[in-house]
Structure 1
Amino acid sequence: MGITVKTLQLTNFEELASTVKGASSEVIQLDPGRVSGFISNLTIDGLPVNVGSFSVGVRTRGVLSPDQTTIGMLTSTDGRVVHWSRDMAVGDVLVTPPGVEYGGRYFGGASVLTISLSNSGIRSFFAQEPRLCDLESWKKIHLRGVPDSSFIPRLLDILRQPMTMHSGLTDDAIAFWRRAIIEMMTLPVVRNAAAETLGPLASALKIVREVEDYVDRNSLKPIHISEVCNSLKVSRRSLHRAFLETFGMGPVTFLRRKRLCSVHTTLLEADPRLTTIADVAMQFGFINLGRFAGDYREMFGEYPSHTLGEELRKTGSIHYSSLSHVRMIKKLV
């Protein structure tokens, strides 16, 4: 029994994929700006707790856990947030079952908090509540948050206790904080709030997912919008409406920014001695290198040459800070 804490200070959008430790996620930066923020991955008596805060709008999708139920709460946001085709407000909870794909769009920076529970953990914690021991109750649930403005500050206060004092806590104290965090995070579920079904964005999300899957299958080549329409048998008008409703931007803009993200990831992982920016840019369909450089800098707040040389400037492949995680958690309140 114990507590471990690791905090990563964000320098790029790719690092957001580790917001939930062990997740298989894809993150695409959709709004311009240099990424800042942090991710704290905690383990409290075996309970995975993840806290993240980021500064730009992104698209996220993937599987959070193959064998655990993930309960996520939106703790702050600078703009609209959409998950499971539903708008989320601060304090709302999203329950993602094991192995189930999630998809979200953040229209600006946000802060999130997640915990993960195994099936046996759910049954053990809610042993006296038969309805909640039924795992069917935990499938695809989007729940409105507790209507209390002090709820999130109290939750984050509870979380800060084991982070600031974990070296001196007894096993009993650690077990207490673990139970307190689970109870707060699952309160909307315990209150028996009705699960919400897919909203009017469902058909738009279906089109968007088909496009994303098509692009992923052809990740080694640039994709033109006409190719997407022909391959998926969807009109330009329907495609544009689906992306506008889902992401707040048209498919051409989305695909261009996705290609910019692919360039960023490639440059970040490349050896500067063996890679040229022009070759990478053209590989992903950017022919006008002058315009590409301007768009890239507007998107990520740095020139491609800076990204390409970043790895050589780092002292290690992972840049964790154990000194700043408490200060960063305080920013979420």
Structure 2
Amino acid sequence: MNGSCLGRGNEDPGRPIRFTGREIAGVEDLREAVPGADLAVTQLSAAPCRGALAHAIHGDLTLTLGRITGDLRLRGVMAAGAAALVVVLEQTPDPGEGRPTEWGHDVQAGDLLILPDGGEREARQHGLTAYAALTAPLERLRDRAGAFDGLADDRPWSACARLRPQLALGLHIELKARLELLAWEGSLLTPQAQAALRDGAVDGFLTALADGVRREPRRQGWINSARILRQVEDHLDQRPGRAVAIPELCQALSLSRRTLNRAFEEGLGVGPRTYLRLRALSAARKALVAGREAGASVTQVALEHGFWELGRFSVTYRAMFGESPSQTLRGR
């Protein structure tokens, strides 16, 4: 197989693949879990958000290998202008915290997530998560997917879904090994060797997708708790910079307080009041990191995110992120 079999795209098959990566030191580093993603991330406990991302980019096709620890809520567009397939390579949740979820459905190692162009992730992660992702324009994926049973029409790409392929262990290991070799050694390989690894990895994703579609022909609906969380966050996003009280949320969304509490406990393991505070803390951290070059102050950021008692803000912030707000601002 050579590079041209991946269909049309803005790639030159003989051009070397471009490699990028970064260490994850906090929630602000996860906005682009894959290139082009726009994820809002809230840290839900003092478990540190750490890890690494590595990307192999060839024209408009990207392969990503990620490894993340932390207790996190992730929501947002996974790949604007592209479809994405994500395979969960490893999942070691924190004991006693329940299963990690995606769109309200539990997620475990071996699962495959489908995100069409502009599809949004709606995830709760905790403990260790390792994943592999493929992103490319849908027409490119469909050109290649036509060789796989069940992938020739629009149905597999029509909506976000979590599938559970029953792949042989060897294929799972092979996909991980190809991506690790690309991520860590790819720049040392010839363009031909890079292309062979890339094409083999793409086929691994599509093999998993074909098997998952065959086994689960029906799409899962949204779990109600995930739908409520989405509605709450949409309401908050429409009112940036303004504190929103729990009674206002209940009234705006026509929910009882009991229903709202149950949705948050089921979906995130915390109540809505706690989540609002944690969301504000994570947003404040991102603002402090962004403000390093803009002359921001801790007081300014704290007040803009609804923290009026500066001493308490500093104590709470340090307990959550392991450093003071001023240290974040200085980049220490």
Q: After TM superposition, is the score higher than 0.5?
A: yes
Preserved contact between residue 69 and residue 97 of structure 1 (Cα < 8 Å): yes
Instruction: Give the distance between the partners of 1:259 and 1:167, measured in 2 at CA.
Output: 40
Alpha-carbon distance between aligned partners in 2 of 1:141 and 1:6, rounded to the nearest angstrom: 28
Tell me by how many angstroms 1:9 deviates.
1.0
Query: Counterpart of 2:247?
Result: 226
Per the alignment, residue 219 of structure 2 pairs with: 197
Q: CA shift at 1:308, angstroms?
A: 1.4
2:142 corresponds to which residue? 123
Q: 2:164 aligns with which of 144, 168, 175?
A: 144
Residue 198 of structure 2 corresponds to residue 184 of structure 1: no
Match of 1:290 in 2: 311
Change (3 A) 1:212 1:167: closer
2:279 to 229, 240, 258: 258
| Gapped regions of structure 2 (runs ≥ 5) | 1-14, 94-98
**Is 2:165–2:215's contact at 8 Å kept on the other side of the alignment?**
no
2:81 to 53, 63, 67: 67
Which residue number in structure 2 is paired with residue 318 of structure 1? none
Per the alignment, residue 84 of structure 1 pairs with 103
Deviation at 1:165, TM superposition (A): 4.5
The counterpart of 1:94, out of the listed 113, 126, 130, is 113
> Number of residues paired by the alignment?
310
Deviation at 1:227, TM superposition (A): 2.1
Distance 1:272 1:122, change over 3 A: closer
Matched residue, 1:7: 21
- Aligned to 2:287, the other structure's residue is in SS state helix
- The 3 A distance-change label for structure 1 pair 32 and 152 is farther
Gaps of 5+ in 1: 314-333
Cα distance in 1 for partners of 2:100, 2:180 equals 25
Relative distance call for 1:259 and 1:253 in structure 2 (3 A) is: same
Q: Do the aligned partners of 1:222 and 1:283 also contact (CA within 8 Å) in 2?
A: no
Classify 1:64/1:174 alpha carbon distance in 2 versus 1 (closer, same or farther; 3 Å). same
Tell me how far apart the structure 2 counterparts of residues 258 and 76 of structure 1 sit (CA, whole Å). Answer: 26
State which drifts further: 208-217 or 27-36: 27-36
CA contact (8 A) 1:57 1:109 kept: no
Q: What are the superposed Cα offsets for residues 119-153 of structure 1, whole Å, 9 maximum, x if unpaired?
A: 33223213334731212222333211435445443
**TM-score normalised over the length of structure 2:** 0.85
What is the TM-score normalised by the length of structure 1?
Answer: 0.85
RMSD: 2.3
Cα shift at 1:213: 0.6
Amino acid at match of 1:114: A
Rounded to whole Å, the distance in 2 between the matches of 1:44 and 1:97 is 20
- Structure 2 equivalent of residue 319 of structure 1: none
Q: 1:131 to 1:97 in 2, by over 3 A?
A: same
Structure 1 segments (4+ residues) deviating >4 Å: 147-151, 271-274
Identity of aligned residues (%): 28
